[in-house]
Structure 1
Amino acid sequence: MKVTRLSQTEDLMPTLGLGTWQLPHIGNRASDVKKFVDLQLQRLQLSYIDLYLIHVPFGFVSDPHELTPCVEPNGEYVLDMNTDHVQIWKSLEQCQKERLIRNLGLSNFNEKQIKKIIESATLKPQVLQVELHAYFQQVALRKFCAENNIVVTAPETFPDLLGHPHVKEIAQEHGKTPAQIMLHFLVTEQIVENMDIYDFELSTAEINILKELDKGEDGRIFNFLFWKGVEKHPEYPFRLPDIEAVKD
């Protein structure tokens, strides 16, 4: 893969994660954080990273000869069962003190896991990146983040919603595309911003129709089960009992 140098500019905000961009979830241990941050900076020819996320709360054992996860003969990934979020976070805080990272955040963590980091952090998480769309609105998690001044971002906002009859009907009513309707709905919910979605307002009835599309956990699409065996990791974030325990 050819790496193109990024310009260090205020107009761009390079965002990387521990376990992303050529380093597939093998660096989720405190002893490796600095090594991988330095490696990513070197490869991108940057002096600092604007936003750095722990991309997933679990980790894999690394092949000693390559920067790839180890896989068992049966296809299951070899899990690093000693993932320690608090120590990983402290290592990232040190990178921030060294001005290698400007802002820190999390991705795909559940509320219980975020709380544990907040309780021990000097620099609290500033961003949480999670799956979020009308089928999976994550109301409780967004409320928790708002209470803790954590900005929620959503890389996945449109599953198969654009063809939903309710969405198409509302789009026709406003002379907008289904995509613009869904983005406006998320803006109304204080989630995202985008172009050309501010010159109309959704009615209370329309907002309620879109809210009713929420399927809760059944609406989740990205569960990482394409990594065979990942659900056996003690920090796999989407285990329903963990999520329900927070609500009780």
Structure 2
Amino acid sequence: MPLVGLGTLHATDDETTAAVEAAIDMGYRHIDTAYLYFNEAGVGRGIRNKIAQGVIKREDIFLTTKLPHTHLTPERVHVALEKSLARLDIGYIDLYLMHSPLGFLPTEDETNLYPTDAQGNHLIHDVDHKAVWREMEKAVESGKVRSIGVSNFNRRQIQFILDNSTIKPANLQIECHIYYQQKELVNYCHSKGISVSGYGPLGNPGLMAKLKAAGKQVTNVLDEPTLQPLMKKYNKSAAQILLRWEIQRDIIVIPKSTNPKRMQENLDIFDFKLTAEEMDNIAKLDQKLRVYALPFSKNVLESKDFPWGPNDPY
């Protein structure tokens, strides 16, 4: 699993095809998508185009996609997987993640993936994680998926999978940036032999601007003053410093961009190394600020499957 991947959240199908093709030409070999992003077809098209051009072979690419929260029942895992395989149309999936530990009402309506009742309560259901994980294992046994993992799970939920699995999670994907470092959870996963990939490593400036507009005292991670002397010292951008800091923590990064200049910049982080003191100074910036927070209803926040409840500090 390459240390730097191309994230595709919020990119349209056509944007994704162009971005994937450009990324592969630049040297990216790790692409991250999801059923919920509605761009798996675009990702697959970009990969197939580059295979047809002779630039890569299928085995050169590490492709991650995810089981959506509307399919967290044993009988629906296969349904979602087959849809993803058909949309991607590249044979197999390298890493298949449970996108969330929290299950929403199973639905075929892909325009409403967070269904609510008349009172505005989200329609959720209890997930049998053991049974769902067994179906994930079957996907590996079938050869359609090479490895499996989880996303947005907390330590308690990961430990449950470990205690009830034949194939342990290969990877945990979580929000991870300088203001939300998740040190304890990262250390826990590494101690269990589970790799960690971080989405939003650049903090998602658009979402942070919304938090600021809502009255929260937040600074865009790219404007963090601590980074300025490092940018001058290494002749690197703020984004490159942030990504380098993550990979030196043994965290795989999947920054999202469709801008070729930024995509190339995000990849060019292997010609310098932060010192231990610099790493420690950045580590002091943690604010435990979760940027990717959806406006869930009260019943979601109180669900036993909600991963960020008061009894689950990490």
TM-score using structure 1 length: 0.86
Map 1:1-248 onto structure 2 (within 5 A).
3-4=41-42, 5-6=44-45, 7=48, 9-19=58-68, 25-63=69-107, 66-67=109-110, 68-69=112-113, 70-80=115-125, 82-159=126-203, 160-192=220-252, 195-216=267-288, 219-223=289-293, 225-229=294-298, 230-243=300-313
Instruction: Name the Cα RMSD after superposition.
Output: 2.1
SS in 2 for 1:34: helix
Moved more, 186-195 or 141-150: 186-195
Q: CA contact under 8 A between 2:63 and 2:94: conserved in structure 1?
A: yes
Q: Distance in 1 between matches of 2:87 and 2:278?
A: 47
Q: 1:116 to 1:172 in 2, by over 3 A?
A: same
> Does the aligned pair in 2 maintain the 1:132–1:138 contact within 8 Å?
yes
| Cα contact 1:41–1:47 (8 A) shared by 2 | yes
Is the helix fraction higher in 1 or 2? 2
Quick one: which amino acid aligns to residue 14 of structure 1? L
Distance 1:122 1:31 in 2: 19
Cα shift at 1:148: 1.1
**Amino acid aligned to 1:62:** P
Give ranges in structure 2 of 5+ residues lacking alignment. 1-11, 14-40, 49-56, 204-219, 254-265
Does the 8 A contact of 2:170 with 2:194 survive in 1? Answer: yes
Cross-structure match for 2:36: none
How many pairs were matched up?
234
- What do residues 108-166 of structure 1 show as CA deviations (whole Å, max 9, x unaligned)? 00010000000111000001100111111111111111111111001210122111111
What TM-score do you get using the length of structure 2 for normalisation?
0.69
The AA in structure 2 aligned to 1:16 is T
Contact 2:58/2:90 (8 A) holds in 1 = no
Q: Percent identity?
A: 29
Does the aligned pair in 1 maintain the 2:97–2:150 contact within 8 Å?
Answer: yes
Cα deviation per residue 1:62-81 (whole Å; 9 max; x = unaligned)? Answer: 34x6344432123322111x
How far has the Cα of 1:32 moved from its partner?
1.0
- Pick closer, same or farther for the CA change 1:32–1:177 going to 2, 3 Å: same
How many angstroms does 1:41 deviate by?
1.5
Of 191-200 and 229-238, deviating more is 191-200
| Contact 1:162/1:179 (<8 A) preserved | yes
The Cα shift of 1:174 comes to: 2.4
Gaps of 5+ in 1: 20-24
2 CA distance for matches of 1:236 and 1:142?
A: 19
CA shift at 1:181, angstroms? Answer: 1.2
